[in-house]
Structure 1
Amino acid sequence: MLWLLCLCALPTRAIGQEPADTAKPLTFGVLPMGGPSESLESWRPMLDDMSHALQRPIRSVSVSTYEGLAQALAEQRIDYAFVSGRLALQAVTHDGMTVLAQLTRGDGTRGYYSVLVVDRDSPIHNVDDIFGKPGHWRYARGEALSVSGYLVPETQLFASRKLDSDTFFANVTVDNHQNNALAVVNGEADLATNNTADLERFAKHFPEQYARLRVVWKSSLIPHAVIIARTDLPTELRERIAQFLTNYAKGRNAAQELAKLQLIHDISGFRPAGNDVLIAFADIDYTLEQRRAISAQWVNDDAMKARLQKIEATHEQLVRQLKSNRPQNFAHLDDRP
């Protein structure tokens, strides 16, 4: 699959001045928000501070798709990354990653919501208008790894009705939240998935287009994105990264650091977190798989029952695995770089 990769080396002290074990740059992966270059520019000020605190060069990598970031994680080209919960779940269970911290927002919310948006003049006013016309509307959604752009709407709206969005609509296109919102405004799609956090960002960048959008459905709460790191990084290094994140915008330079965080996505900071924060996303996968199994065609009831039992057992095993890694306490570390 072709995907766009942007790489940016952040300024630090000269590599020749570093000890051999700290000379190698760390690579930070960025969840796509807007364009890849935009994401890199937003994260650069905070990563400069982290590079100084760790006394280690940090490169940042942003991609144009969730699948591109997932591929980079799988190929171990990224040391730590900012990712959505579903992408984190895949990285933790298959790619040797672990959760270090979870973002917090200035409004104090513990998460965000998936939404469906339409043009303000659309004849669609609620979900009944959508499901009342099979094969009629044009749908713009996120990638399969996007929690708010695909997984949550698919689970809460379509699978619960024994439907598949990819076959229900007259046309389905897959893109990022920004482009999907623009597709609705430009008349290229009748409805699109998005989320409350990205819509706030969209309103700042495209105020006139945002004014043309109307929300017709909102999901249950989705936990915020997380920072993950490779488990084969030295334990002390992972702890120092986590300590930096969870202390950032909370000390004597809080005001300046908070301003840098808010360049990213109205982030107010990070809280300690472990793999157990991903249980909510494991539950989403479980619900979607269960509902798809129930609505599938089976040769007999025993075959369906066996499939449901396997889904249940796999989910229970995954939850136990995630619970075994809870937030760590970094109090034993001092504040020295």
Structure 2
Amino acid sequence: MRKICSDNRAQLIRSKRVELAYIGPAAYARLWIITNGQVEPLAKPVDLRGAAGYYSVVIVRSDSSYHALDDLKGKKFGFNDPNSTSGYQAPKYYLRKTGYDIDTFFATTIFTGSDDNNITTLLSGAVDGATSWWQDDSRSAIKRVEDKGLIPQQSVRIIWKSPMLPSDPRVAPTWLPERMRSDLRDAIVSMAKDDPEALRALAAAGNLARFVAASRRRLPRHRWDSAS
């Protein structure tokens, strides 16, 4: 199986090369716009604690003097990837909404390419703050990098957290027959009951408990990357 980034999966849906994919919330918002709404969310994952979302966070080194966003004014800052929901699109949008223009607030910004890179770059001192994703103390990019032994335990702290971002939806294009989309949704939502082995395979890298039906009303249709 070839790993394809969220934006490329969205493009495969748009070009009618795939009929079912999971994509990030920001990629979904862009796909909704460029297809004039011709994409439908079918289901979204729910974790073992019942949460159907996660957060974008701003992190700093625990031994730094930074305790709030204002402390990072004029500092160096790291983002994950331009197409990442939690690593760039959502924090850019929400920070600007609250008066922090990332183009002028920070002295310099860089893209490090991944959550792991962003966190290790922060620990190296190359940046003063960075973005990451966080669900709870037991599940986050920070915890994953700690578990890998790439950074010491408790070496970073969170100083900002976004509103909850929706979990990555499983989506299908609306050019599929409505009955097929309905059947796909039912199969995904009933997986925990009807095919627990398949669900366990999907949950191998995380804490997936089940899928629930997704609604367009619960997913973003604005473009986070167009926030001003």
- TM-score category of the 2 structures, normalised to the smaller one: 0.7 to 0.9
CA distance in 1, matches of 2:156, 2:144: 11
For residues 29-48 of structure 1, the aligned pairs below 5 Å read: none
1:186 aligns with 2:124: yes
For residues 131-280 of structure 1, the aligned pairs below 5 Å read: 131=73, 134=74, 137-161=75-99, 163-174=100-111, 175-197=113-135, 198-199=140-141, 202-203=144-145, 205-209=147-151, 211=153, 212-251=155-194, 254=196, 256-278=197-219
Q: Which has the higher contact order (CA 8 A, sep 6+)?
A: 2
CA distance in 2, matches of 1:257, 1:167: 47
SS in 2 for 1:249: helix
What is the RMSD computed on CA atoms of the aligned residues?
A: 2.7
Aligned pair in 2 of structure 1 residues 99, 182: CA closer, same or farther (>3 Å)?
same
Deviation sequence 1:96-142 (CA, Å, 0-9, x none):
321111111111123211111122222222222113xx2xx221113
SS in 1 for 2:98: helix
Deviation sequence 1:48-71 (CA, Å, 0-9, x none):
xxxxxxxxxxxxx532x5443443
Aligned pair in 2 of structure 1 residues 200, 235: CA closer, same or farther (>3 Å)?
farther
Q: Which one of the candidate residues 282, 287, 299 is aligned to 2:221?
A: 282
Q: Highest Rg: 1 or 2?
A: 1
Structure with the higher fraction of residues in helix conformation? 1
One-letter code of the match for 2:34? H
Offset at 1:169?
2.2
The answer for unaligned runs of 5 or more in structure 2 is: none
Offset at 1:245?
0.8
Aligned-pair identity in percent equals 24
Deviation sequence 1:185-243 (CA, Å, 0-9, x none):
23332211111144266246524516222212112222222000122223333222211
Q: Do the aligned residues in 2 keep the contact of 1:62 with 1:69 (CA within 8 Å)?
A: no
Aligned pair in 2 of structure 1 residues 215, 151: CA closer, same or farther (>3 Å)?
same
Q: Tell me the equivalent position of 2:28.
A: 88
TM-score (norm 2): 0.82
Q: Do the aligned residues in 1 keep the contact of 2:123 with 2:151 (CA within 8 Å)?
A: yes
Q: Tell me the equivalent position of 1:112.
A: 54
One-letter code of the match for 2:32? V
The answer for unaligned runs of 5 or more in structure 1 is: 1-7, 9-60, 293-337
Count of residues in correspondence between the two structures: 220
Aligned pair in 2 of structure 1 residues 179, 109: CA closer, same or farther (>3 Å)?
same
Q: Do the aligned residues in 2 keep the contact of 1:158 with 1:165 (CA within 8 Å)?
A: yes
